[in-house]
Each structure stands twice: as structure tokens, then as C-alpha cells.
Amino acid sequence: MNQLAGNRLKMWLVVVGVFVLGCVTGASLDGVYRSLADGGRHYGRRRDGERGDFLEKLRRDLNLNNTQAAQVRVILDETRNEYRKLREEARPRHDAMRQNSRSRIRAVLTPEQQLIFDAKVAERDARHQERKRSEP
């Protein structure tokens, strides 16, 4: 009986370990993707969402004349648009990876845990949608 209890404990530790590893992996990949994809979005904005003017800082620090400042603005706008395009191209692959990860996590959960997990996922997705709506 003692060996059976020990085996059950090991089994649960493996299940919990796989779940935690999946969560950490998913969160890490999400963070890496966001940091790469958001690179162009922060020209002229601080991370807290307030407007900061990167171009004005460059103008002041580099003593740009009006022609140079106009050219730099065009470059920054073009780069921002390229980053947006890249995000749009990568979005389906990112979504598929996220959905696959969620399906794999659900497969190791009990039905009760799946309900809780689904609620957490829905809550996270709602927060993400709200952030997307508030972006310019």
C-alpha cells in the first residue's frame, strides 16, 4: 500500500510539473513574441502608454535641422508600418502555437481543472482584447 501511495504521489508531481512547465513555456514564448513584435510600436511612446516623442529627443540630441527631422519621421513611420505588417504575418502562426499549447495543457487536466483553466484563458484573452482596443 505504501508503494502505491508513493507511485500516486510521483504521478501527481509529474502532472503538476508538466502543467507548470507548460505555463512557464507559454508565458515565456508570449513574452518573447511581444517584445519582438512590439519593437516598432514604441517609437514615440513610452511603455506606460504616455506619449513620449522619440523624434523630438533625436532632434534635440543630434541637433537635426527641419529637413533631417522630416526624413527621420518618414523612416520611423515606415519602420512602424513594417513592424505592423510583420506582426500581421506572424499572428496566425502565433495563434496556432498558443492554441496547441492550450490543448496540450487541457489534455493533462481533470474535468474540474479544465473548467478553471478555461476560465483563466478566457479572462486572459479578454484582457488582451481590451489592450488591443486601447492601442492607437
**How is the chain split into domains, by residue range?**
2-134
pLDDT of residue 34: 62
* pLDDT digit string, tens, across residues 2-22: 777 777 777 777 777 777 677
Q: What pLDDT score was predicted for residue 54?
A: 85
Residues 6+ apart with CB under 8 A from 82: 40
* pLDDT score of 39 more than 70: no
Segment 59-65 shows an average pLDDT of 91
Give the mean pLDDT of 117-128: 92
Query: 44 pLDDT exceeds 60?
Result: no
Beta partners for 45?
51
CA-angle at 77, arms to 45 and 43, nearest 5° = 20
pLDDT, greater one: 119 or 1: 119
Helices (H), the chain: 2-37, 54-62, 66-107, 111-134
What confidence score (pLDDT) does residue 109 get? 93
Phi and psi, residue 43, nearest 5°: -65, 120
Amino acid sitting at position 49: G
Least confidently predicted of 5-19, 25-39, 40-54, 118-132: 40-54
